[in-house]
Structure 1
Amino acid sequence: MQAPILRRLRDLPNFEMATGDPDPRGWPVRGRDGHAFGTVQELLVDPVSQRVLYLNVQLAEGLPGVPPPGPHADRRILLPLSAVNLDTEGSNVFVTALSRDTVHSYPPFVDFMLPPDLEDAMLRALAV
């Protein structure tokens, strides 16, 4: 099966979220301990299936074990939408498989190009 070609939601002006689906951009991402470790910056969608597949998360500064980003860079991760819970009332994203203390072991998202093994590494880290 061919991997989907992903696009940033902001690059798809004609893409509409399904009625009732929340847009979590800007929401804090909280781990199993309830503490925030990042913020949703962007949604990655498969324009063919018209589905949001990943949340592009900017990690907070000063997380244990997470090295600071290099010059002109930041530290991001991708979270599969299937691995998170969206709290629409509180505008939070919860991912129980991670926490501020364990996110350092999650594979980083370095570039918009997705390496073929990134999805497998994400799923292993989330034990999905």
Structure 2
Amino acid sequence: MGTGAITEYIDLAQLTLYAFWLFFFGLVGYLHRENKREGYPLLDSHNENYRGGDLFGMPQEKTYILPHGQGTRTVPKAEPEGYELKAEQPVPAPGFPLEPTGNAMLDGVGPAAWAIRPEKPDLNHDHGTPRIIPMRIAQDWSVESRDPDPRGRPVYGVDGEQGGTVTDLWIDLSEPCVRYLEIAAGERRVMIPMTFARIKSNGDVIAKSVCGKHFAEAPSTANPDFVTLQEEDKIGAYYGGGYLYALPERTEPVL
């Protein structure tokens, strides 16, 4: 028998390989369980007894201590009660797509879907203050002189109709950039993510995902000085959903 041999058929290298296989299989199972802390178990609206995601089981509850005195968060946890699904299946068959039953851009379905998140602002790591605030509060910030300043300029939808006027810019203090444009749309103050806006050289703003009339119904913030995590999700979902729902022809097949 050679070096490392245990018997004529088993040696140290073979046992090492088997140990690696067992470790790798256990690692895959562990990561699969940890990946199911949110969104599981899967439920079937047509079969109340079905609970998907049982492979390797569900992870045990784990409690995280949130920074800056925000309390704790335990996952996985029971789904919130009272959540109303504003959509239905035209054909009651498993896997058939859902269609919104009301305002498709606000119903939280399809490309306009949003997750249930805390009604608290995202905080700076160092100071525990809101990281995204309007420039009227972040007075040390300004628009670079060589860049167009959209404040006071009109905002147009994909149909060319004016939906409002830019009143302020919201700054991300952690990653120095403009995150949102604040818009006066009639009597409402609404927001649009900077990623959905295009600023022309004269400062005019074009939003191709929505029409001019849609700004008046866009989600806004409860507090004029900061935006919560839940509000951020809803604002982004509204304009993202516009790429499918803002115009009737966008929901039709493309041949």
Q: Give distance in 2, aligned partners of 1:78 and 1:54.
A: 6
Q: How does 1:71-90 map to 2 (within 5 A)?
A: 74-89=187-202
TM-score, normalisation: structure 2 = 0.40
Rg larger for: 2
Question: Retained in 2: the 8 A contact 1:45–1:51?
Answer: yes
1:12-54 Cα distance to aligned partner (Å, 9 max, x none): 3322434533221001010011111100001110223221111
Is 1:23 aligned with 2:149? Answer: yes
Partner of 2:250: none
Partner of 1:127: 240
Q: Give distance in 2, aligned partners of 1:15 and 1:82.
A: 20
Change beyond 3 A, Cα 1:7–1:34: same
Question: Retained in 2: the 8 A contact 1:15–1:50?
Answer: no
Q: Give distance in 1, aligned partners of 2:215 and 2:147.
A: 27
CA deviation after TM superposition for structure 1 residue 104, in Å: 4.3
From 145, 160, 170, give the equivalent of 1:44.
170
1:67-118 Cα distance to aligned partner (Å, 9 max, x none): xxxxxxx4111111111010113x3101011113333442133422323211
Change beyond 3 A, Cα 1:43–1:123: same
Comparing 45-54 and 18-27, the one that deviates more: 18-27
Q: Which amino acid aligns with 1:106?
A: A
State percent identity of aligned pairs. Answer: 24
Partner of 1:100: 212
Q: How many residues align?
A: 113
Question: Retained in 2: the 8 A contact 1:6–1:47?
Answer: yes
Change beyond 3 A, Cα 1:85–1:116: same
Partner of 1:3: 122
Pick the structure with more helix per residue.
Answer: 2
CA RMSD of aligned residues (A): 2.2
Where structure 1 has 5 or more consecutive residues not aligned to the other structure, the ranges are: 61-73
Instruction: Provide the secondary structure at the position in 1 that maps to 2:237.
Output: helix
Q: Give distance in 2, aligned partners of 1:125 and 1:6.
A: 19
TM-score, normalisation: structure 1 = 0.74
Q: Give distance in 1, aligned partners of 2:173 and 2:159.
A: 34
Q: Give distance in 2, aligned partners of 1:32 and 1:14.
A: 34
Where structure 2 has 5 or more consecutive residues not aligned to the other structure, the ranges are: 1-120, 124-130, 242-255
Pick the structure with more strand per residue.
Answer: 1
Comparing 36-45 and 2-11, the one that deviates more: 2-11
Q: Give distance in 1, aligned partners of 2:136 and 2:208.
A: 27
